[in-house]
Structure 1
């Protein structure tokens, strides 16, 4: 609605075309990107799947937790869970964790760095099944 310069409009269109062409190439080759974008306030933030330690639900928002930052976004935990790769597992109604970042599992809690995340009864079996698939002994 606002007056936008042709230069800015062209830049936005070029960015969109580049993004869509990358998506099309990824779909055609069967490659999945190793990152995702999340809108937060006025920014769109890029995250590598490998850097995300946990995702916490806070009502209708989620908090994405990495070793260096915590970012809030207006997205449901259920909708983001559908887009995450297999290394992520839901362990609680309010938490999804990345199996790569687990330091310890202590009875009904997972330790990632200095943070403890609870494992609920509803998600316990699925969590231990995925964890068991990755155990050596």
Structure 2
């Protein structure tokens, strides 16, 4: 049975910055035939739920009120990679557009809904560690 690291919000955990989830039926369906390992890198990094939204600005992650939360995102990313390694996951499904989990396209740092090319910090580190990463949009 394959093991899949999944953004916890996609699996129904209310861990997003607003305190809600992004439940995805396709991800839930995978749980019927695979071992799902849900993680929220922001929570792993010590950020509360709810919390101020944040976006990547270059190498930093900044909240909408100007707080630099890069260290929390970085810690959460490292811990998510450690979870993936410890569980020998086969691949990862991460939340699209997220400053932590987005792949290929993320919010652009203006908090206007604009997007730019790039990866979230956790996805960046998962890819660097050799894991295959997809978003829910690729299912």
What TM-score, normalized to structure 2?
0.28
Task: State the structure with bigger RCO (CA 8 A, min sep 6), 1 or 2.
Answer: 2
Larger-Rg structure: 1
Which protein has the bigger helix share?
1
